[in-house]
């Protein structure tokens, strides 16, 4: 039978065909190399390719592949930036409800200057003694104050910067977790509302979502948002960690018809926001604008910023005390200079603004000294994606912690560093239908909720070890920081709280 199917003649024809294909491929290869050689020798943009034609091209291939090779084969668990493998792995395991325990000792360098460690109590409370979290009031002078229970929430990420399926997943996950979701400066989209979660509407300098045709604040649209049951607070963005001093950037490749309609833009054109609100050029105008938004909406209103010169806080506090505590922002969101979900110029991302490790104690201490901490709630964000990060922030005096990239990891982000190119391989930061197809909101919303659940569970573990029944009872004496000499010092000694000033 096989002889009939594959006779001598048939095998000979097959061999001839294979030989012809091989010769054709060989000729194609020779011609291609020849063309590349001529192109490389005659071009004048790349020195390496001109001096080493054809072979020099491998340099660019290896450079591109190096990002992936380092991540998967060469970088140690604690080496990568901006987030190392150990941090990302914890988030992935939490989101998947997988085993979060590790064995054989810590791989963290506990002698490095600035490292935070927590002081365990000799007689910690039993697990069954855990206290039920109490709601924290925001906006006591508002018509409609807000009292969230959770201390961990989703930071500002705009629809457009994130894909619709990513926003939908976060909205549904936030509803399951009982935390709020910040819209980012891109306006309120239908995807934010899918899960019926609590929403913090962020008003960027371009007023996306609440602007008229000339880019000015549309008070009618603002009032309409204020009447929305899901919108709980309004955040006026002065600056953000990725680009302090510069407005937001959404590459034109991401500005499709839907995004353009929501934001009030032209399809395909870069969305570049001003570097500040035209209405706000000093402290008095900032307080006026906060009061205006709060009056129109009836809901808690605050602002987000990255700290530069700390003396500005003193000047702002003086203005608040002169007007009265009712004029104070209901909350201040402090972003860290090492934030980074937004596309930004590298000089701003790398060199401008203070990290939250320095700015948070400054802000808390100045508000405490003025007797405003409590009236003004402190929300902090910036690379805090693990329980230890959040526990540190609470111990330092933050009322709430928000995270953007932590929740991106819970969606499946692999830190491919392509957020601004519309080529995100996990479908988180792209509107390419082929890439979004892999992100299933039904599954990912559960992972978002799991991440939040085990984040709070992890913070609870630290709190109990420190001898308190509720993470909100953590304070500076419960944590220590490593000094340059390798010894540790209590945060209560390193950052002693100032006495309240007399009025």
Q: Model confidence over 290-321: pLDDT tens digits?
A: 999 999 999 999 999 999 999 999 999 999 99
Nearest to 336 by CA among 300, 307, 365: 307
Judge residue 478's burial from the number of C-beta atoms within 10 Å of its C-beta, 0-12 exposed, 13-18 middle, 19 or more buried: buried
Please indicate, yes or no, whether residues 233 and 346 belong to a single structural domain of this protein.
yes
Residue 51, C-beta contacts closer than 8 angstroms, at least 6 positions apart: none
Tokens in use for 27? 């000729």
CA distance 409 to 91: 7
> What percent of the chain lies above the pLDDT cut of 70?
89
Where does the pLDDT of residue 2 fall: very low under 50, low under 70, confident under 90, or very high at 90 and above? very low
Please indicate, yes or no, whether residues 343 and 409 belong to a single structural domain of this protein.
yes
Q: What tens digit of pLDDT does each residue of 257-293 get?
A: 888 888 877 788 777 788 889 999 999 999 999 999 9
CA-to-CA dists, residue 503 to 324, 371, 500, angstroms: 11, 9, 9
205 pLDDT above the threshold of 60: yes
Please indicate, yes or no, whether residues 229 and 367 belong to a single structural domain of this protein.
yes
CATH label of the domain that carries residue 321: 3.20.20.70
> What percent of the chain lies above the pLDDT cut of 90?
52
* 9-13, 120-124, 194-198: range with highest mean pLDDT: 194-198
Q: What angle is formed at CA 338 by the lines to CA 335 and CA 339, rounded to 5 degrees? A: 55
pLDDT of residue 98: 87
252 pLDDT above the threshold of 70: yes
Least confident of 5-19, 199-213, 486-500: 5-19
Q: Is residue 32 situated within a structural domain?
A: yes
CA distance 44 to 48: 10
Residue 129, C-beta contacts closer than 8 angstroms, at least 6 positions apart: 469
Give the Cβ contact number of residue 146 at 10 Å: 20
Q: Is residue 247 situated within a structural domain?
A: yes
Q: Is residue 82 situated within a structural domain?
A: no
- Ranges of beta strands (E only) in 10-162 are 116-118, 152-154
Query: What integer is the mean pLDDT of 18-47?
Result: 89
- H/E segment holding residue 66: helix 57-69
CA distance 32 to 445: 49
Please indicate, yes or no, whether residues 160 and 49 belong to a single structural domain of this protein.
no
pLDDT of residue 74: 59
Nearest to 273 by CA among 188, 343, 331: 343
Q: What single-letter DSSP state applies at residue 370?
A: T
Please indicate, yes or no, whether residues 178 and 61 belong to a single structural domain of this protein.
no
Q: Is residue 160 situated within a structural domain?
A: yes
pLDDT greater at residue 210 or residue 79:
210
Q: Which domain holds residue 327?
A: 127-421+444-466+475-494
Q: Nearest 5°: phi and psi at 492?
A: -65, -30
Residue 328, C-beta contacts closer than 8 angstroms, at least 6 positions apart: 320, 372, 375, 376
Please indicate, yes or no, whether residues 135 and 218 belong to a single structural domain of this protein.
yes
Residue 93, C-beta contacts closer than 8 angstroms, at least 6 positions apart: 99, 100
pLDDT of residue 430: 85
Is residue 331 within 8 Å of 305, Cβ to Cβ?
A: no
119 pLDDT above the threshold of 50: yes
85 pLDDT above the threshold of 50: yes
Where does the pLDDT of residue 330 fall: very low under 50, low under 70, confident under 90, or very high at 90 and above? very high
CA-to-CA dists, residue 277 to 148, 216, 248, 280, angstroms: 28, 10, 12, 5
Q: Is residue 316 situated within a structural domain?
A: yes
Where does the pLDDT of residue 438 fall: very low under 50, low under 70, confident under 90, or very high at 90 and above? confident
Q: Is residue 64 situated within a structural domain?
A: yes
Q: What is the mean pLDDT of the chain?
A: 87
Q: What single-letter DSSP state applies at residue 472?
A: G
Decide the pairing of beta strands 377-381 and 331-335.
Answer: parallel
Strand partners, 306: 335
Answer with the one of 57, 74, 91 that is the final residue of a domain.
74
102 pLDDT above the threshold of 50: yes
Q: How much is the pTM?
A: 0.85
Decide the pairing of beta strands 116-118 and 479-482.
Answer: antiparallel
Q: How many CA atoms lie within 13 A of 436 on its CB side?
A: 16
pLDDT of residue 128: 62
pLDDT of residue 264: 75
Please indicate, yes or no, whether residues 210 and 141 belong to a single structural domain of this protein.
yes
Tokens in use for 266? 């032209």
Tokens in use for 476? 């500076």
Using a CB cutoff of 8 Å and minimum separation of 24, what contacts does 92-96 make? 92/409, 92/410, 94/410, 94/450, 94/451, 94/453, 94/454, 94/455, 94/458, 95/409, 95/410, 95/447, 95/448, 95/450, 95/451, 96/447, 96/450
346 pLDDT above the threshold of 80: no
Please indicate, yes or no, whether residues 137 and 8 belong to a single structural domain of this protein.
no
Tokens in use for 25? 């491929």
Measured over the CA atoms of residue 253, residue 258, residue 262 and residue 266, the dihedral's sign is positive
Q: What tens digit of pLDDT does each residue of 451-473 get?
A: 999 999 999 999 999 999 899 99
Where does the pLDDT of residue 41 fall: very low under 50, low under 70, confident under 90, or very high at 90 and above? confident
Please indicate, yes or no, whether residues 131 and 70 belong to a single structural domain of this protein.
no
CA distance 463 to 474: 7
Please indicate, yes or no, whether residues 60 and 146 belong to a single structural domain of this protein.
no
Number of domains in the chain: 2
Q: Is residue 48 situated within a structural domain?
A: yes
Q: What single-letter DSSP state applies at residue 490?
A: E
Q: Is residue 83 situated within a structural domain?
A: no
Nearest to 182 by CA among 352, 353, 339: 339
Is residue 304 within 8 Å of 185, Cβ to Cβ?
A: no
Please indicate, yes or no, whether residues 158 and 264 belong to a single structural domain of this protein.
yes
Where does the pLDDT of residue 340 fall: very low under 50, low under 70, confident under 90, or very high at 90 and above? low
């Amino acid at each position: 039978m096989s002889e009939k199917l594959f006779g001598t003649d048939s095998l000979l024809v097959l061999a001839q065909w294979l030989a012809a294909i091989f010769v054709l491929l060989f000729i194609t290869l020779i011609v291609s190399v020849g063309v590349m050689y001529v192109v490389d020798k005659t071009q004048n943009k790349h020195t390496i390719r001109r001096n080493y034609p054809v072979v020099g091209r491998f340099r660019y291939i290896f450079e591109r592949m190096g990002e992936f090779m380092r991540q998967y084969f060469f970088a140690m668990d604690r080496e990568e930036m901006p987030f190392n493998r150990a941090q990302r792995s914890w988030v992935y395991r939490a989101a998947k409800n997988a085993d979060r325990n590790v064995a054989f000792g810590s791989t963290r360098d506990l002698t490095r200057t600035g490292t935070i460690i927590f002081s365990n109590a000799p007689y910690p409370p039993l697990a069954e003694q855990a206290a039920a979290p109490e709601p924290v009031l925001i906006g006591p002078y508002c018509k409609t104050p807000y009292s969230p229970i959770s201390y961990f929430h989703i930071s500002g990420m705009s629809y457009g910067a994130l894909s619709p399926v990513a926003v939908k997943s976060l909205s549904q996950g936030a509803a399951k977790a009982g935390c709020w979701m910040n819209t980012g400066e891109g306006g309120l989209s239908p995807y934010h509302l899918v899960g019926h979660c609590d929403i913090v509407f962020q008003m960027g300098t371009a007023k996306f979502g609440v602007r008229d045709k000339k880019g000015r604040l549309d008070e009618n649209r603002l009032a309409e948002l204020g009447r929305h049951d899901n919108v709980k607070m309004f955040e006026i963005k002065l600056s953000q960690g990725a680009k302090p001093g510069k407005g937001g950037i959404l590459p034109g490749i991401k500005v499709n018809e839907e995004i353009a309609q929501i934001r009030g833009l032209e399809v395909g054109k870069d969305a570049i926001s001003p570097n500040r609100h035209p209405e706000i050029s000093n402290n008095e105008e900032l307080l006026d604008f906060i009061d205006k938004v709060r009056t129109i909406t009836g809901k808690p209103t605050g602002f987000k910023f990255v700290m530069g010169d700390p003396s500005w806080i003193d000047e702002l506090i003086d203005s608040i005390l002169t007007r009265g505590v009712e004029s104070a922002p209901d909350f201040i969101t402090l972003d860290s200079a090492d934030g980074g979900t937004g596309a930004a110029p590298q000089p701003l991302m790398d060199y401008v603004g203070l990290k939250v490790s320095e700015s948070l104690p400054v802000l808390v201490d100045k508000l405490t000294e003025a007797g405003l901490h409590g009236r003004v709630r402190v929300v902090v964000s910036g690379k805090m994606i693990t329980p230890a990060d959040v526990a540190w922030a609470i111990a330092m005096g933050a009322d709430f912690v928000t995270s953007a990239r932590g929740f991106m990891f819970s969606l499946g982000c692999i830190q491919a560093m392509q957020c601004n190119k519309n080529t995100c391989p996990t479908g988180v930061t792209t509107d390419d239908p082929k890439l979004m197809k892999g992100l299933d909101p039904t599954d990912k919303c559960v992972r978002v909720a799991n991440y939040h659940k085990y984040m709070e569970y992890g913070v609870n573990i630290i709190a109990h070890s420190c001898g308190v029944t509720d993470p909100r009872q953590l304070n500076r004496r419960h944590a220590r920081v490593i000094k340059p000499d390798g010894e540790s010092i209590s945060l209560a000694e390193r950052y002693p709280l100032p006495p309240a000033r007399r009025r």
